[in-house]
Amino acid sequence: MSTGLPTTRAPLADALPSAAPPVMIEGSGLSKVYGLPERRGAQLLGGGREAVTAAGGTLAVHDVDFTVGRGELFVVMGLSGSGKSTLLRMVNRLVEPTSGTLRIDGAEVTGMDADALRELRNRRISMVFQHFALFPHRSVRENAAYGLRIRGVTAKERLARADAALHQVGLGNHGDARPHALSGGMRQRVGLARALATDADILLMDEPFSALDPLIKRNMQDLLLELQAEHRRTVVFVTHDLNEAMRIGSRIMVMKDGAVVQCGTGPEIVSAPADDYVSDFVSDVDRSRVLTASAVMRPALLTAHVGEAPADVLERLANAEATGVFIVDDDGLLLGAARDQDLADALRDGEPDLTGRVGDAYRTVRPDQPLADFLHLAGQGIVPVAVVDTAGRLLGVAPKAAILSALAQPRRISRAHA
Ligand SMILES: Nc1ncnc2c1ncn2[C@@H]1O[C@H](COP(=O)(O)OP(=O)(O)O)[C@@H](O)[C@H]1O
Ligand SMILES: [Mg+2]
């Protein structure tokens, strides 16, 4: 499917980092009632959980809106029973929504007839589960090729594609093995290979790594991120593990009792949890690894142009009660830093500008670097840690106080009314 060529995007979208990708999956007003006839369930939705429960049904998902961008790795997170699996299965209508609409690539899935739906499931969507069945008497290769059978691919091509997928997940040498010869982690890789072999551009993953040991789980997450960097599928990934969500998700939607309580990037959720339920999840997270320099960045207050006179810059330092200043050129490129003493020396020696006083007593980070990378540097030098882009332009600074503030998680005063 992927040509390997850069996709055509409007130049403007590249210029604006926040420009959202085109929508691939869009759910609106999605609800699911289990245990009641469809029409009865739909009638009771207006009365909410109480009405549904009173009638003997279960309101598993209630009025959920969400969109997933093309190429996004979208995570749905929540405690067991919060409706994650139900929501995921409504995407390809393995679970029929009681109400609401779902669109994929603009086409309304909720209105599709059986043929169109089969086509969608066979060609565009693959699923990976926590527990999935491998055929014990078939080879790993045949197991990985399984998803292609129903897609009308020739036997020869099936096995070739299965081999390619096994190679992608690091099982290239195990095609001839039987499943029982593999460890749990390797078997889970076969499940992933099975999904990848299909070339589907949408992956629905329901706690695929939840049963794995922590180390193997991490490896699988890394593998998924690597594959994702290469192929940019649209992934909806369900987990109850916020650390996992933070590691892999471009955005995270937190669900509770069938409803969405918060949706945002990992740093957004960690810095401002919407309620106590989200706070409880967030309390287990290592904030220094989730929050990045961009989350603590402030405008650089003390910068000087390299052509300025030392006396002027010293005056600014005096007024700001600061001891050092960043020096930039005409293009905003960060050249270095000067301390007050350097400027005073330049003034004494009659130097016209700062050219001779560009020092290297400063440290730089990229906006997407986690705080953990540079925590130890904060408050060390004459200037704050500098945040620079790939070209070396000064974007802002990461002051120690901003870092400390972001890392400090306020204790909750009372949960009495939760
Ligand atoms: N097939 C089903 N029939 C009846 N109730 C169900 C069914 N599947 C899930 N439920 C109920 O719906 C709610 C949400 O379940 P689920 O979507 O599996 O949540 P999660 O994946 O977050 O654990 C739970 O209360 C669960 O018991
Ligand atoms: Mg589930």
Which residue has the CA at smallest separation from atom 1 of ligand 1? 34
Residue 57 Cα to ligand 1 midpoint, Å, equals 11
- Cα 330 to Cα 133, 301, 342, 384: the distances in Å are 62, 17, 21, 21
User: How far is it, in rounded angstroms, from Cα 220 to Cα 222?
Assistant: 5
Same domain, residue pair 101 and 78: yes
Q: Lowest-confidence range among 207-221, 242-256, 323-337?
A: 207-221
Per-residue pLDDT at 241 exceeds 60:
yes
> Which CATH number fits the domain that encloses residue 367?
3.10.580.10
Q: pLDDT for 350-379, tens place per residue?
A: 999 999 999 999 999 999 999 999 999 888
Q: Which of 34, 53, 277 to mutate to test the pocket of ligand 1 (most atoms within 8 A of CB)?
A: 34
> Tokens in use for 126?
């693959």
> Tokens in use for 324?
């050092």
Choose among 347, 412, 402: nearest CA to 378: 402
CB 248 within 8 A of CB 227: no
**Residue 399 domain-assigned (yes or no):** yes
Judge residue 293's burial from the number of C-beta atoms within 10 Å of its C-beta, 0-12 exposed, 13-18 middle, 19 or more buried.
buried
Per-residue pLDDT at 158 exceeds 60:
yes
Residue whose structure tokens are 């093309």: 70
Residue 410 is predicted with a pLDDT of 64
Same domain, residue pair 147 and 206: yes
| Number of separate domains in the chain | 2
Average pLDDT over residues 161-189: 90
Which residue has the CA at smallest separation from atom 2 of ligand 1? 34
Residue that terminates a domain, selected from 291, 307, 335:
291
Residue 16 is predicted with a pLDDT of 47
Q: Lowest-confidence range among 126-135, 230-239, 321-330?
A: 126-135
Per-residue pLDDT at 321 exceeds 60:
yes
Average pLDDT over residues 402-413: 78
Residue 18: pLDDT band with limits 50, 70, 90: low
Residue 80 Cα to ligand 1 midpoint, Å, equals 9
Residue 325 Cα to ligand 2 midpoint, Å, equals 54
Residue 237 Cα to ligand 2 midpoint, Å, equals 11
Question: Could you tell me where the beta strands, DSSP code E, fall in 80-214?
Answer: 99-104, 107-108, 125-129, 202-206
Per-residue pLDDT at 413 exceeds 60:
no
**Residue 215 domain-assigned (yes or no):** yes
Which residue has the CA at smallest separation from atom 14 of ligand 1? 83
DSSP string, 291-318: -BHHHH-B----EEETTS-HHHHHHHHH
Residue 412 is predicted with a pLDDT of 56
Q: pLDDT for 70-115, tens place per residue?
A: 999 999 999 999 999 999 999 999 999 999 999 999 999 998 999 9
Same domain, residue pair 118 and 147: yes
Per-residue pLDDT at 237 exceeds 90:
yes
Residue that terminates a domain, selected from 268, 291, 314:
291
Same domain, residue pair 346 and 393: yes
Residue 160 Cα to ligand 2 midpoint, Å, equals 33
Residues framing ligand 1 (Cβ under 6 A): 34-35, 58, 60, 78, 80-86
Same domain, residue pair 110 and 259: yes
- Ligand 1 atom nearest residue 82's Cα: 22
Q: Which residues of 56-78 are buried (b: 16+ CB within 10 A; e: fewer)?
A: ebbbbbbbbebbbbbbbbbbbbb
Q: pLDDT for 41-79, tens place per residue?
A: 999 999 999 999 999 999 999 999 999 999 999 999 999
Question: Is 287 or 237 the better-scoring residue by pLDDT?
Answer: 237
What size, in residues, is the chain?
418
Same domain, residue pair 149 and 125: yes
User: How far is it, in rounded angstroms, from Cα 325 to Cα 215?
Assistant: 45
SS3 23: strand
> Which CATH number fits the domain that encloses residue 261?
3.40.50.300
User: How far is it, in rounded angstroms, from Cα 418 to Cα 278?
Assistant: 12
Q: Which of 58, 89, 205 to mutate to test the pocket of ligand 1 (most atoms within 8 A of CB)?
A: 58
> Tokens in use for 263?
């949706």
- 77 is in which domain, residue-wise? 22-291
Which residue has the CA at smallest separation from atom 24 of ligand 1? 81
**Residue 8 domain-assigned (yes or no):** no
> Tokens in use for 97?
């929504």
In single-letter form, the type of residue at position 34 comes to Y
The rounded mean pLDDT for the chain is: 89
Judge residue 40's burial from the number of C-beta atoms within 10 Å of its C-beta, 0-12 exposed, 13-18 middle, 19 or more buried.
middle
Q: pLDDT for 308-317, tens place per residue?
A: 999 999 999 9
Same domain, residue pair 198 and 136: yes
User: How far is it, in rounded angstroms, from Cα 403 to Cα 296?
Assistant: 6
Q: Counting ligands in written order, which one lies closest to the CA of residue 64?
A: 1
Per-residue pLDDT at 251 exceeds 50:
yes
Residue 107 Cα to ligand 1 midpoint, Å, equals 27
Q: What percent of the chain has pLDDT over 70?
A: 93
Choose among 300, 362, 357: nearest CA to 332: 300
- Ligand 1 atom nearest residue 61's Cα: 14
Strands 394-398 and 385-388: antiparallel
Average pLDDT over residues 161-179: 91
Residue 150 is predicted with a pLDDT of 67
Q: What percent of the chain has pLDDT over 90?
A: 66
In single-letter form, the type of residue at position 150 comes to I
Per-residue pLDDT at 4 exceeds 80:
no
Same domain, residue pair 231 and 351: no
Which residue has the CA at smallest separation from atom 13 of ligand 1? 60
Same domain, residue pair 377 and 262: no
Residue 86 Cα to ligand 1 midpoint, Å, equals 6
